[in-house]
């Protein structure tokens, strides 16, 4: 069963009537499952960016110029 289905089942369970202790466990499991989805997504993004034919856009920039722009905004 995919993790999205598990999350959906936790959400459906929370809509029903259950004891307070069981509800707290389901809420904790729902939170952990959602966090796991974010971690998996981040890991997939990292592995995708490490592929050899992955193209990264490179553009030269001046760090000093950028800092002057930022300081100019705050100087006003």
The pLDDT score that the predictor gives to residue 54 is: 56
The pLDDT score that the predictor gives to residue 52 is: 66
Q: Where are the domains of the chain?
A: 1-50
The pLDDT score that the predictor gives to residue 69 is: 84
Q: Count CB atoms within 10 A of the CB of residue 10.
A: 19
The pLDDT score that the predictor gives to residue 50 is: 66
What digits encode the pLDDT tens for the residues 8-63? 888 999 998 889 989 888 889 889 988 898 899 888 888 877 666 656 667 788 88
Question: What's the chain look like in SS3?
Answer: CCHHHHHHHHHHHHHCCCCHHHHHHHHHHHHHHHHHHHHHHHHHHHHHHCCCCCCCCCCCCCHHHHHHHHHHHHHC
The pLDDT score that the predictor gives to residue 42 is: 87
CB of 7 closer than 8 Å to CB of 30? yes
């Amino acid at each position: 069963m995919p993790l999205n289905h598990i999350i959906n089942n936790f959400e459906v369970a929370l809509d029903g009537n259950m004891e307070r202790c069981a509800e707290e466990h389901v809420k904790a499991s729902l939170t952990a499952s959602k966090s796991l989805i974010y971690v998996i997504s981040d890991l997939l993004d990292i592995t995708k960016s490490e592929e050899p034919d992955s193209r990264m856009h490179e553009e030269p920039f001046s760090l000093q110029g950028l800092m002057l722009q930022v300081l100019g905004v705050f100087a006003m």
